[in-house]
Structure 1
């Protein structure tokens, strides 16, 4: 009877495994993608060996194994593109695939090996790979820079009334004629001369001769011998 129950339990597990919807993860070509996988770890002895493989999880182990751990260390990887970046000691065994390629698409199996019959934790998931969206580039063109324009302002000289015109220098010549006194003239007397004095402003040339200052009406007295 126990064998009959065990057989039906195995068949039920197989049926559930095939009918359960598998999570789908989408990756972009050239970028990294992470396939999530966790199990519960409460004590250090709960840390279990596990493996990642291509294709659905088989009854044991992993088909086409790409990564394997022993305890909390990775002991095998098929390519350097496969890494476990989570905390293995805390049950995070998510697989990170770097630089995804188109051929990476397909089903992956995460299997945690728990001691005992049919205790392994299995998780299948599908990876879809899509092309990277076109990169939209925006080109900004700057308008050509024209040479700076300088405004030239010319200031006309201010016309003011301060211009001083050269004042004409007036030369005032004063002629003083001293008339002789009236007295009786004898033969031995000497008559006074007419004295001409000329006053001019400072700096004025005094090269004029007294003879040039005589007028037609002037009387000149000369001494007699």
Structure 2
């Protein structure tokens, strides 16, 4: 079976990925500092997690901080890292009680050691939970992920442990950060922008895309439900002819 078109029984739980965009514009439009927009964005994360559980979403992947975001002003990056610490320290036990399993994907080498420790603690504490699989992409870029996977494959070929003829899509996907996750069914971007911005480039090959005008700090249950309704109205053909 083609990895991009899994049978329903293989991955019955819906996987929703979200590019959380618009924090800065939300704040600027109200004459507030951009940092306040990011703080309000944390509230939206909490609402969306609760909404995903209520709407029976099995997997939720959030684009929290990209490799390109490191180029933002130092003070803004510092505020984002502070909010990450606040979220993990303040919400970890609540997420655990709700049955949320936490994973983090991206380049941890660029993150502060105490943040890496928090990521490991969060993953370890919640690894047995099954209510919602929550993945947060931090210091993440889709091209970076694919490049690193290619390096891993190349090292194995050079070492003689992998024959070039054995390389296929499934093997390559197994070298990605998301090796143990199903591909996203639905990718949502907030704020009205219509691009995926280097997010899950390999995995989103056959995802349905929904772009919403709502800025991320205003996103919640109603917006997620509307996106799911739009998703369910579409026919997913995976390259086949409709009706087959």
Q: Tell me if TM exceeds 0.5.
A: no
Which of the two has greater strand per residue? 1
Structure with the larger helix share: 2
Larger Rg: 1
